[in-house]
Structures are given as C-alpha cells and as structure tokens.
Amino acid sequence: MLSTEKQYVQWFEDETLHSARWLSESNHAPPARIVLVDDKTTADEAYRLACEGTSLLWRGDFHNAKQLLQALNRRIDRTNERSEQRKIKKAANKSTADKLVTPEAIPNLFHQQRQTQAQRSRILSRLLLELETGYVSKLRRAPDVSAACMAAFGQLDESCLLSFRDLQGALGAAQWREKGVPIESLGLSIFPHYGVFAPTRHEYVQLLLDAPLPDTCDVAFDIGTGTGLLAVILAQRGVQQIIATDLNPRALACASENFVRLELSAVQLQQADLFPNDAPLANLIVCNPPWLPAKPSSPLEYAVYDAKSTMLRGLLQGTKQHLAEQGEVWLILSDLAEHLQLRSRDELLGWFADAGLAVKYRLDTTPKHGRSQDNTDPLFAARSLEITSLWCLERV
C-alpha cells in the first residue's frame, strides 16, 4: 500500500530543477540518482545503469518503454541463467551437481529464488514515468491511464513519478476489476481491486462446498476476507449472519463491492486484525491464511507470505475465545510449506493442540495451476507434491 507520508523526488532537466510526488506501491525509497532516457537509449545501457542503482526517467514513446522493460527482463534472465550454469560447473561431478535439486537443497533454493525475484523487482522498478496532475501522461502514444491510476492510487492533485511496473500493475488491475475472475463452481465472478489478491487459483472452493456445515450455523466469521470469496460461499450455503474482517482498506472496499454486486445482505464487513469486535460467538470460523512462512516483499505478497506464520498462529491462539462450544474452524491451507521444508506437519499439528483444537476431519484436493505442472521450475519437486486442504478443527 502507498505510504501515507508524502515523499518527493527531484531531478535536473534542461538545466532546470524539477520536482514531483514519489509513488511506490512497494514503498521503495525515492531514487537517489535519475538519468533521462528515451528511444535512443539501448537496452544494454539501460540495464547497466539500472544494475548500478540508477533510476531511468523515460522521455520517449510509451510503447517503446514497454519494449525496454521486456528487454531488461530478458537480460535479467540471461544473467540468472549464466549464474546457475556457473554453479553447476563448479560441482565436482554429476552426482554433486544433482544435489542442487535434492530435497535437502530445496529450502536454500526457495530462498535463493526469493532473493532473485527481489533483485529483478528492484532492477525493473528503476524505469520511471512522470504523470501530470490527474495521472495524465504526455508521452507519445500514451493511453489514458487516469481512471486506472485513480482506482489504484487514489486522488492526486499534483504531478508524480512512479515505476512503469507499478503503472502496468494498475492497468492490469483495472482489467481484472472490469472483467472479473470466473468461479465456475459457484456460477459467478469475483471482481478484485488493485492491491487485493485475485482468486485465480481457487481449487479450494469445492472443498468449502463439500464440507458439511455445523449442526448449528447461525453466525460465521470470514477472517482476512480479501475479495470476499469465502463469505460469498457461506452466504450461498445459507449462513444467516456472516462477519467478514480484514485490515486492508482496499480489501474491505473490494469485498464490499462484490457483496453489493451479488446482493448479499447477510454479510457485515469490519476492519479488524483477525477477529471482529463486539460480535457473538461464531458457530463457524473460516480462514484462507497466507500459505508460506516467509517475509512479504510487497503489499500484494501479504496474501501469500506470512513471516514466521504470525497470522496463522494468531488465528489459532485466538479462536477459542470467539468460537461457540460446538463450533468449527475451517482452515484452508496448502502443504507446499512442508514440501519446501519451511514448516513441518508436526509443527502445524502442535499449533492446533496448543490452541486447544483437534482435527475433526480434513478434505484434500490437488492443485491444477500451471506451476504445479511445470517440470522446468527449479521447485517442481516440491510443487508437484502439493495438496490443498480444508482442515476442520473443533474444541478439544
């Protein structure tokens, strides 16, 4: 989410000092060094400058900026490929080289991939655009980006500098928000907002449809609602009172819009850290927490990464205070963290026990997303084994 503290960046152009508001979705610091680049700037030169930490303010054709970003991406790929080849060549023999992808090597490989992704993001984010007041671009062949930026970043009555990647993210989010994400098993679409994780991977929906509701299910909580998808499922299944919570204002606005579209009057929204305030005990608590215990590097990654499993453990520890005597907890969780050796099954079961909860039953499904089928992915050995589960927990 954009920092609430205003930051500005300055640069010289035509011997004149310019200034603009700095916008960064990843809360990157304002660039310390800026050079002007345009259609005459080669990709190799741009790549060298970006790797050195210099930001590139684009003054050429808008579509050529897109091509430059793609060229920078290719150069990063080639650099990473050469690095991997050097690691393999350093191995004394083939058996030693094979150890790079053994189960023992997977945790290090995961963290190396995260570091590589972060470095890629830093380099690509150094290609900058200037937008005038109202998010207007004066670049040649620039599309009208004002509506998409307004939806993503809010009202801004001054010029700004932002990364071309952040602008692409805003434009992509505007398309998602217009078209929606079809949820075939529900016969409807969910419309994500910028900065809210889109439910493009939703194999768990059928698990929520198949799980038997508790005998009494008058009140349900959807913790960390995001787009509101889990609350929508509960409403479709006839739960009369649903309280959906989230800390992210964007998520609350997104869920609210989806509830209004679907005319769901049974769902209340509340901004809260995990559990709602001043609410009755719940017969059912559902949550789809971040699946991987690693530090998020951007606001959108908070839906995927949960440093030290803080949210998951907080949810479990607070559950009994908010759960009715015969109530149930439905926890949607992938076991990918176990295959990546970031968390063990015994550790997870121990957290259940420490919270005074026991497993009543578990429903499983196999992911069908592309990365689980891609045997060229360095982490394929882990991804190919992944199972997504609905853990039904009850009081001990």
CA-based R_g, the chain, Å: 24
Whether domain 181-395 has CATH 3.40.50.150: the reply is yes
Percent residues over pLDDT 90 in the chain = 77
Q: How far is the C-alpha of 386 from the C-alpha of 363, rounded, in Å? A: 14
Task: Identify the burial level of 121 via C-beta atoms within 10 angstroms of its C-beta, where 0-12 means exposed, 13-18 middle and 19 or more buried.
Answer: middle
Q: In the predicted model, what is the mean pLDDT of residues 182-200?
A: 93
- Quick one: average pLDDT of 287-315? 89
The distance in angstroms from the start CA to the end CA of the chain is 39
Which burial class, exposed, middle or buried, applies to 159 when counting CB atoms under 10 A from its CB (0-12, 13-18, 19+)?
middle
- Is the per-residue pLDDT at 2 higher than 70? no
- Say which residue the tokens 């005074």 belong to: 356
CA nearest neighbour of 74 among 50, 49, 44, 53: 44
Q: What is the pLDDT of residue 201?
A: 86
Structure confidence at residue 136 (pLDDT): 97
Please check the confidence at residue 111 and state whether its pLDDT lies above 90: no
Query: In b/e form, how buried is each residue of 275-297, taking b as 16+ CB within 10 angstroms?
Result: bbeebeebbbbbbbbbbbbbebb
* 358 within 8 A of 393, measured Cβ to Cβ: yes
Residue 95 has a pLDDT of: 47
Mean pLDDT of the 26-54 span: 95
* The pLDDT of residue 245 is above 70: yes
Across 127-138, average pLDDT = 97
341 CB burial (10 A radius; 0-12, 13-18, 19+):
middle
Closest alpha carbon to 113 in 86, 141, 142, 84: 84
Whether 102 and 109 have beta carbons less than 8 Å apart is answered as: no
Task: Measure the CA–CA gap between 351 and 312, rounded to whole angstroms.
Answer: 9
pLDDT in tens, 202-241: 889 999 999 999 999 999 999 999 999 999 999 999 999 9
Copy the structure tokens of residue 267: 């769902």
Q: How many CB atoms lie within 10 A of CB 155?
A: 7
pLDDT for res 91: 47
* Token digits of residue 218: 């008058």
Q: Given a cut of 90, is residue 298 above it in pLDDT? A: no
| Residue linked to tokens 């589960």 | 389
Give residue 94's pLDDT: 47
Residue 43, number of CB atoms within 10 A of its CB? 15
Reference 40, options 59, 19, 21, 12; nearest CA is 59
Strand partners, 128: 57, 163
| Per-residue pLDDT at 349 exceeds 90 | yes
3-state DSSP of 280-337? CCEEEEEECCCCECCCCCCHHHHHCECHHHHHHHHHHHHHHHHEEEEEEEEEEEECHH
Q: So what's the pLDDT on residue 4?
A: 61
Q: For residue 1, what pLDDT is reported? A: 46
Greatest CA separation for the chain? 74
CATH 3.40.50.150 location in the chain: 181-395
Output the pLDDT for position 378: 74
Range with lowest mean pLDDT among 104-113, 119-128, 161-170, 227-236? 104-113
How far apart CA 340 and CA 386 sit, in angstroms, is 10
**98 pLDDT band (50/70/90 cuts)?**
very low
